[in-house]
C-alpha cells in the first residue's frame, strides 16, 4: 500500500519553487517569458484595442504624425534648404525614414511609462515584469504597418518600385524594435524610481530625431565618421530601411553592423538592469 502511494506521488512530482531575497545581478529567465507568452499577447491586444477604441481618429493617427513631419521637412529642408537626398525625391527620402522612426519613438515613449502605468497589475499579480515594456514595444507594430502601407502608396505615386533588397526590411524593423525595447527597458526601470524620467523622454526623442539621418543623408559624413555614426542604432535602421526599399546610391554596409552591435548591447544591458531593479518595482511604483 505504501509503495503504491509513493509511486503515485513520484509520478506527479511537482517542482518546488524557492522564494528568497535576490542579490545583485539576476538571471534573465527567458524561459519564463516564453511561458507567459499568452499574457504578452493579451496585453498587446489590449493596448491596441484600447488605443483604437478611444481615439476618434483611430488608425489615421498612425499616419498623420510621420506624414505631417515629412511635409514640413520637405518644405524647409528639401525645397528651401535644398538638402541632398541620395538621388531620391526628398518627400520619399524623409518619409521612408520617418516610418520606422515613428515606430521607434512611439515605442520609446510608451514603454518608458509602461511600468508606472501598469502599477495596478504589478502590485497585485505575478508575471515576469519584462512583459510590460515588451508589450508596449510590440503594440506599435500595427501603427507601423499602416504607415508602411501609406509609404508604398507614396512610392507608387512617385513611380518608384521597391528593389529586391526589400526582403531585408523585416530585419531592419527588428533592429528598430530591438533598439526601442533596449532603451525602453532602461527608461522604464529608471522611471519607477526617478519619476521625472518620463518628462525627459520627449526631449530625448526630439534630440534623437535630429541626431538620426532622417532629414539628411548620412552620406554627408566622410569615412570613418560615417561608420562611427552607426553607434546610433537608429542610423542603421533608417539608412538600411531606405536602402532596402529604395536602393540609395550609398549602400550602408558597415554602418548596419555597428548599429546592430550597439542595439544589442543596449538591449542586453537594459534587460539586466531591469531584472536587477525588478525586485523594487512593486514596493516603489
Partner 1 sequence: MSDIAIKVEGLGKRYRIGANQQAYKTLREKLTQTAATPFRAFQSLAGRNGHRSANGHKSKAEMIWALKDVSFEIKRGEVVGIIGRNGAGKSTLLKILSRITDPTEGYADITGRIASLLEVGTGFQPELTGRENIYLNGSILGMKHAEIRRKFDEIVAFAEVEKFIDTPVKHYSSGMYVRLAFGVAAHLDPEIMLVDEVLAVGDVDFQKKCVNSMQSVSDSGRTVLLVSHNLALIESLCQRAVLLDQGEVSSAGPTAEVIAEYLSRSQFCESENLTDHPRNEARSSAWFSRIQILNRQGESSREFRAGEEMAVKLGVAVQSPILQPWIGIRLRTPADQLICHIANREAGYQLPPISSASEIECQISSLNLLPGRYIVDLVLADMLNRDYDKISGAAYFDVRESDVLQSGMPMNQAYGLVFFPSKWKLVDVSERLG
Instruction: Give the footprint of partner 1 on this chain (CB under 8 A).
Output: 9, 13-22, 38-39, 42, 46, 49-50, 53-54, 120-127, 190, 193-197, 200, 273, 276-277, 279-280, 282-284
Q: What does the CA dihedral 135, 138, 142, 148 come to, rounded to 10 degrees?
A: 160
Neighbours of 31 (CB within 10 A): 8
Nearer to partner 1, 164 or 203 (CB): 203
Decide: 25 and 276 in contact? Cβ < 8 Å. yes
Cell of 205: 526623442
The Cα 58–Cα 52 span in angstroms is 5
Nearer to partner 1, 118 or 232 (CB): 118
Decide: 237 and 176 in contact? Cβ < 8 Å. yes
Cis peptide before 224 (omega within 30 of 0): yes
> Closest distance between partner 1 and the C-beta of residue 43, in Å?
8
Mapped onto helix, strand or coil, the DSSP state of residue 128 is: coil
Nearer to partner 1, 124 or 222 (CB): 124
Q: Which helix (H) or strand (E) element contains residue 166?
A: none
Nearer to partner 1, 187 or 260 (CB): 187
> Closest distance between partner 1 and the C-beta of residue 189, in Å?
10
> Closest distance between partner 1 and the C-beta of residue 82, in Å?
40
> Closest distance between partner 1 and the C-beta of residue 29, in Å?
12
Nearer to partner 1, 49 or 249 (CB): 49
The Cα 35–Cα 112 span in angstroms is 24
The Cα 234–Cα 225 span in angstroms is 16
> Closest distance between partner 1 and the C-beta of residue 113, in Å?
13
Beta-carbon-side half-sphere exposure of residue 155 (alpha carbons within 13 Å):
19
Nearer to partner 1, 85 or 112 (CB): 112
Nearer to partner 1, 20 or 153 (CB): 20
> Closest distance between partner 1 and the C-beta of residue 273, in Å?
8
Mapped onto helix, strand or coil, the DSSP state of residue 191 is: helix
> Closest distance between partner 1 and the C-beta of residue 11, in Å?
12
Cell of 13: 512530482
Decide: 24 and 119 in contact? Cβ < 8 Å. no
Amino acid at each position: 500500500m505504501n509503495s503504491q502511494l509513493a509511486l503515485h506521488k513520484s509520478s506527479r512530482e511537482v517542482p518546488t519553487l524557492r522564494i528568497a531575497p535576490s542579490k545583485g545581478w539576476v538571471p534573465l529567465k527567458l524561459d519564463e517569458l516564453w511561458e507567459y507568452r499568452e499574457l504578452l499577447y493579451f496585453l498587446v491586444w489590449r493596448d491596441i484595442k484600447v488605443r483604437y477604441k478611444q481615439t476618434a481618429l483611430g488608425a489615421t493617427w498612425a499616419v498623420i504624425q510621420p506624414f505631417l513631419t515629412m511635409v514640413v521637412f520637405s518644405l524647409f529642408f528639401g525645397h528651401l534648404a535644398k538638402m541632398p537626398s541620395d538621388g531620391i525625391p526628398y518627400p520619399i527620402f524623409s518619409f521612408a525614414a520617418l516610418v520606422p522612426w515613428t515606430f521607434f519613438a512611439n515605442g520609446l515613449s510608451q514603454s518608458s511609462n509602461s511600468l508606472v502605468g501598469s502599477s495596478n497589475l504589478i502590485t497585485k499579480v505575478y508575471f515576469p515584469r519584462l512583459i510590460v515594456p515588451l508589450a508596449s514595444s510590440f503594440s506599435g507594430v500595427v501603427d507601423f504597418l499602416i504607415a508602411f502601407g501609406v509609404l508604398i502608396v507614396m512610392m507608387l505615386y512617385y513611380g518608384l518600385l521597391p528593389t529586391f533588397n526589400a526582403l531585408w526590411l523585416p530585419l531592419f524593423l527588428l533592429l528598430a524594435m530591438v533598439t526601442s525595447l533596449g532603451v525602453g527597458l532602461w527608461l522604464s526601470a529608471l522611471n519607477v524610481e526617478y519619476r521625472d524620467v518620463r518628462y525627459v523622454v520627449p526631449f530625448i526623442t526630439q534630440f534623437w530625431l535630429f541626431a538620426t539621418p532622417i532629414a539628411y543623408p548620412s552620406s554627408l559624413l566622410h569615412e570613418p565618421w560615417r561608420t562611427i555614426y552607426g553607434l546610433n542604432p537608429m542610423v542603421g535602421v533608417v539608412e538600411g530601411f531606405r536602402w532596402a526599399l529604395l536602393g540609395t546610391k550609398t549602400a550602408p554596409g558597415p554602418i548596419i553592423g555597428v548599429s546592430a552591435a550597439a542595439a544589442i548591447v543596449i538591449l542586453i544591458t537594459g534587460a539586466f538592469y531591469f531584472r536587477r531593479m525588478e525586485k523594487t518595482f512593486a514596493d516603489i511604483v
